[in-house]
Structure 1
Amino acid sequence: MKRYILAAFLIASSLSCKESFIDLQPISDMNAGNFYKTEQDMNQAVMSPYSSLRDLYNQLYIYTGEIRSDNTTFSWVPGSSKDMTSIDNFGDVLLSDNQNILNLWNRSYVTILRSNIVLDKIDAVTFRDEKLKNQYKAEARFLRALVYFWLARIYGDVPKVDKQISVQEAYTMGRTPVEEIYNLIVEDLKFAEANLPATYAAADRGRVTMGGAKGILAKVYMFMAGYPLKKGASHYALAEAKALEVINDPQYTLLSDYKAVFDVKNENNAESLFEVQYKKGGPAPIVTGSPWSNDFAPRFSNKEVIPVGDKSGFNAPTPSISAAYEKGDPRKAISMADGYVSDPGGQQINEKYVRKYYDVSFSVAPDNDNNWPELRLADIYLLYSEALVRQGKQQSTALLYLNKIRQRARNSAGAAAGALPDYPAFTSDTDFLLAIEKERRIELAFENHRWFDLVRTERAKAVMSQEQKEQNGFNPATWSDNMLLFPIPLQVIQSNPEKIKQNPGY
């Protein structure tokens, strides 16, 4: 599918407008004409929301999934912008005019809009194969559901836009209760599961599959079971069943070596359920590659870490994530480093950085080939294990899948002898759940899951209070549950103050 990325980017660019939730009419108008006539036209339209995911995953989702958590920090530069530090440090006031929070909102709704364009236009197009038409609808609905899943976890109640709307309609829309947003997500994912293919030909690899829809749906059920909806046992059971469908699908398997999961030459592999696609080497000034090798490299390193392009020192691992790895766990060296040796000079520089997404940039711009692993089978194993424990059943099966993750790690290259033994049977569900939490943190480190796991399990207060005390003792934060959500952007509220109200605490 990477060969479609450049074309998709150009199409997405032609649909762009001023980034504002209420400023949607220009996009709608541009696409109300004569463009959508053929199957190929609709295929290009489907590529547009795929393409716009790149802007969200480049950095914005990292701010909310990792930097908000105890995994990573912005601490590499004193005096950094409050737009960054207030996301990281709960002692700083996170303001509603934070530009990162506004950009995330706007770009999320642009992606949703592009999905809605597909859904609004496709029935007027004649297809030789109705199955293909439904596949395109399913892709658009999956992408819409995925973005709404992010919005619901970040902001809570958000406007539900499930069709093209005019400027006038946008001004009348308020925030939709988060449970209704989750219901839309589930509906979209069920349709996607029913109408997506299990696999694609090589040229289309990277498009979402039936397994990808099932996997995200299992995860959505887990979040609905936890905070804030607290659906509990019924939705843990739904998550268990859907996760097991993925586990039993023979096309998905854990790779034998952890490092291979993130090898830039091994993308869309047998462990991958859905990846956001990037392709380096687009013609200037277009950049369709990913930035993380450069963004995560220590800011003042030379060519010791990344040989080409700038280094931003962004998303630096915390001391607590470094200490969380057990001795001899090869996942640490694959995922992060505690420092590097300067060249020239040969001095040890103790500056932590993420190294999970390594590639050499195509040019001086951050332009790498790494995809973003949104969902992989290891995540599903751990969710399945947790769903069983939370229902108080099948501890032996839950333990089996938890230990499969450790077994893969200890059999990976670089593991120390005797490292990562299997967990024995647990005497309490509390201890079992804490072990699963730990394995999720290590296995999925720097993949944007940690903060949301802490929120849904109601562990954010305990974990983040301790983290902030250790790392920001000079500016300690008094915990408030308001911190579990981000502020609604001020510009959004100002556009419709009668209908869009701020989250508590902001």
Structure 2
Amino acid sequence: MVSCNDYLDVTPESVWESDSFYSNQQEAEIALAGIYGVIAHDSAYGQGLILLNAGADEDYYNRRANENWGVSLFRNTQSDDESFNLWTNQYKAINLTNLFLESLNRSSIESDEVYNALVAEARFLRALCYFNLSNFWEEIPLRLSSSKSQGDNNEPAAALLDIYNAIVADFTFASENLSHPADATYVPGRAHKLAAHGLLARVYLKMSGYPLKENYYENVIAHCEAIINDGYHGLTLGDGTNGYRKLFLDIIGGTYNPREVLFEISFQNLRDQGIFDTHGRYGSLNGLNFGSSANLGEPNGYSQAGVYPTLAGIYDRTNDARYDWNIPSYKRTADGDITTIKDELNIRDFCPAKYRRWEPLDYADIFVEGTNESYVVLENSESELNRNFTSVNFPVLRYSDVLLMYAEADNALNSAPSSLAIQYLNEVRFRAGLDDISIVNPVVVSDKQLFFKELVDERSRELCFEGVRRHDLIRWELLDEKLSQVKNIVEGHPSFSASNADHQSILRGPNNFDINKHLSLPYPLIEVSINQALDQKDEWK
């Protein structure tokens, strides 16, 4: 993004016409900031992706009185608002990007280097949007030029390989022309070349799995190596095993952590620059329960996402520092008592803790009854806390993901993990306070399938609630198996009761899932009604 002064120096206009805009670099920067603002909206990274990414084996919609969050409950239809909102948001950003690329005048930019960097940033954002769309819908219309008339909307779904090739082309150009995050010209919060390499690795990993299932593992390794060998990025280590906590305290508090976070959606930063229509709800919708407070200035938590006991079950609860951070252990009641959460099937309290907006001032209060017990606000609280929206940033890509992607690709390519793959898995484990996997479980590092199963669990332990699990399970063709596992574990839980409506509500997703329909979303009804070239998928007609 650009500085506040950049905005103040420009005469406000209600509509920027393409033939009069982009007349200099400053206007181009403002246009790019506007595209960031679109994808940070409620429809996408602000809220929509919380709703759409739930429902795998990590978290679920926990309000049993209604069936909102339809995609997470696998009860969505062609008329589902949440998926339609993401569809329109991402195509809006894509159209703005296409307009930017068509309108940017080379002669108005000071150098080829700056011009190419501006183009690269726009293409990075377009690739990100197309990757989100293809993850949820698979084949989609591929629009690489701006819409100029209603007829331009009539675009059929492109072949999946064509979509991936377009995404790869955009991210590749970005990796070659964006600045390095260590450069003096780099602005924190914006795309950079190493983030493009990381997302290229993620794209190639997806292309290697369902539904394309081609072998691109060498490409994954190459782009991970570009980041690892560069040396700029690394894990946040903090003081010993507290590095994971420190990382998320930075993310929650709005502090940039460029060492580990390669790319994030920065809601507070966008609002600070005058882009007010950015709605982050991390820690509110999917955070720790703060009771039923309606008081302004308190770190309210709606806690609409419940944590499946399957996630809690894959942690070493004694030694893994991530367990205490990611899995809830306490809540605050309406009268201010901070108390423990003991029942994993308590749908109103057993909610994600990763993006917590608060924590007890004295953790001893968890174990004693009291009222109005003190807490600490973790969120950036320079301005009054908002009941609905938060300033908690969303990490799109972290360095630990790069290490785990390398390990996965290496294991798949070589039919067993190499020493580097084991090393990179261990780096993630060591930061969490765990011992060498080769010592703890030596059979895992000698077998391709066992190492893969370890990575399946490790990615969830490390990256839960960061918007990757649903897509991981789909590309691995494991979503059906993992949802069946959720059902078995919930029904086998000591506190489960078949007559308990709350417990039955936990099983809505696993019970509704149909592998013949729910690996991708239906095209929005409005889209297929307007787009005369797009036919609805057969399984959704």
Give the TM-score range, shorter chain. Answer: 0.7 to 0.9
- Cα distance change, pair 168–418 in 1 and its aligned pair in 2 (3 A): closer
Aligned residues: 478
Unaligned 5+ segments in structure 2 are 238-242, 358-378, 491-505
Deviation string, structure 1 residues 42-76 (Cα, Å, up to 9, x no partner): 111111211212121111112232x131111111x
Q: Does 1:396 align with 2:383?
A: no
Native 8 Å contact 1:68 1:451 kept in 2 = yes
Deviation string, structure 1 residues 241-278 (Cα, Å, up to 9, x no partner): 11111111111111111112222254232011111112
Native 8 Å contact 1:406 1:422 kept in 2 = no
Q: For residues 56-455 of structure 1, what are the structure 2 equivalents within 5 Å?
A: 56-65=44-53, 67-75=54-62, 77-80=63-66, 82-84=67-69, 86-90=70-74, 93-123=75-105, 125-199=107-181, 200-201=183-184, 204-232=187-215, 235-256=216-237, 257-262=243-248, 263=250, 264=253, 266-279=255-268, 286=276, 288=278, 290-297=280-287, 301-302=291-292, 308=298, 310-328=300-318, 329-342=320-333, 343-344=335-336, 348=340, 351-357=349-355, 358=357, 359=379, 362-363=383-384, 364-391=386-413, 392=415, 394-410=417-433, 423-426=441-444, 427-455=446-474
Bigger mean CA deviation after superposition, 358-367 or 128-137: 358-367
Partners in 1 of 2:467 and 2:105 — Cα distance?
Answer: 36
Partners in 2 of 1:305 and 1:442 — Cα distance?
Answer: 34
Partners in 2 of 1:474 and 1:271 — Cα distance?
Answer: 33
SS at match of 2:263: strand
Bigger mean CA deviation after superposition, 427-436 or 132-141: 427-436
Native 8 Å contact 2:483 2:510 kept in 1 = no
Native 8 Å contact 1:465 1:479 kept in 2 = no
Native 8 Å contact 1:141 1:191 kept in 2 = yes
- Cα distance change, pair 229–11 in 1 and its aligned pair in 2 (3 A): farther
Per the alignment, residue 17 of structure 2 pairs with: 31
- Cα distance change, pair 48–396 in 1 and its aligned pair in 2 (3 A): same
Match of 1:43 among 11, 18, 29: 29
CA shift, 1:300, in A, is: 6.5
Native 8 Å contact 1:39 1:125 kept in 2 = no
- Counterpart of 1:32, as a letter, is S
Q: For residues 466-477 of structure 1, what are the structure 2 equivalents within 5 Å?
A: 466-468=485-487, 470=490, 471-472=506-507, 476-477=511-512
- Cα distance change, pair 270–285 in 1 and its aligned pair in 2 (3 A): closer
Unaligned 5+ segments in structure 1 are 16-29, 412-416
Native 8 Å contact 1:215 1:242 kept in 2 = yes
Percent identity among equivalent residues?
26
Partners in 1 of 2:524 and 2:283 — Cα distance?
Answer: 30
Q: For residues 2-21 of structure 1, what are the structure 2 equivalents within 5 Å?
A: 3=3
- Cα distance change, pair 268–464 in 1 and its aligned pair in 2 (3 A): same
CA shift, 1:430, in A, is: 1.1
- Cα distance change, pair 420–169 in 1 and its aligned pair in 2 (3 A): farther
Runs of 4+ residues deviating >4 angstroms: 1-8, 10-15, 280-285, 302-307, 345-350, 417-423
Native 8 Å contact 2:52 2:72 kept in 1 = no
Partners in 2 of 1:305 and 1:401 — Cα distance?
Answer: 46
Partners in 2 of 1:216 and 1:132 — Cα distance?
Answer: 22
Partners in 2 of 1:396 and 1:370 — Cα distance?
Answer: 37
- Counterpart of 2:519, as a letter, is L
- Cα distance change, pair 2–432 in 1 and its aligned pair in 2 (3 A): farther
SS at match of 2:264: strand
Per the alignment, residue 372 of structure 2 pairs with: none
Native 8 Å contact 1:12 1:52 kept in 2 = no
- Cα distance change, pair 318–475 in 1 and its aligned pair in 2 (3 A): closer
- Counterpart of 1:331, as a letter, is R
Partners in 2 of 1:191 and 1:169 — Cα distance?
Answer: 30
- Cα distance change, pair 260–323 in 1 and its aligned pair in 2 (3 A): same
Report the TM-score when normalising by structure 1: 0.86
Partners in 1 of 2:439 and 2:12 — Cα distance?
Answer: 49
- Cα distance change, pair 12–230 in 1 and its aligned pair in 2 (3 A): farther
CA shift, 1:41, in A, is: 1.0
Bigger mean CA deviation after superposition, 330-339 or 243-252: 330-339
Per the alignment, residue 23 of structure 1 pairs with: none
CA shift, 1:144, in A, is: 0.3
SS at match of 2:511: coil
Bigger mean CA deviation after superposition, 259-268 or 302-311: 302-311
Per the alignment, residue 525 of structure 2 pairs with: 490
Partners in 2 of 1:460 and 1:353 — Cα distance?
Answer: 21
Per the alignment, residue 361 of structure 2 pairs with: none
CA shift, 1:432, in A, is: 0.6
CA shift, 1:201, in A, is: 3.4
CA shift, 1:3, in A, is: 4.6
Deviation string, structure 1 residues 282-313 (Cα, Å, up to 9, x no partner): 59993646321222245671569996254322
CA shift, 1:501, in A, is: 2.5
SS at match of 2:396: strand
Partners in 1 of 2:124 and 2:65 — Cα distance?
Answer: 40
- Cα distance change, pair 284–7 in 1 and its aligned pair in 2 (3 A): closer
CA shift, 1:205, in A, is: 1.2
Partners in 2 of 1:475 and 1:439 — Cα distance?
Answer: 22
Per the alignment, residue 365 of structure 2 pairs with: none
Native 8 Å contact 1:307 1:360 kept in 2 = no
Deviation string, structure 1 residues 371-390 (Cα, Å, up to 9, x no partner): 21100110010010000110
Report the TM-score when normalising by structure 2: 0.80
- Counterpart of 1:87, as a letter, is V
CA shift, 1:14, in A, is: 5.2
Bigger mean CA deviation after superposition, 342-351 or 440-449: 342-351
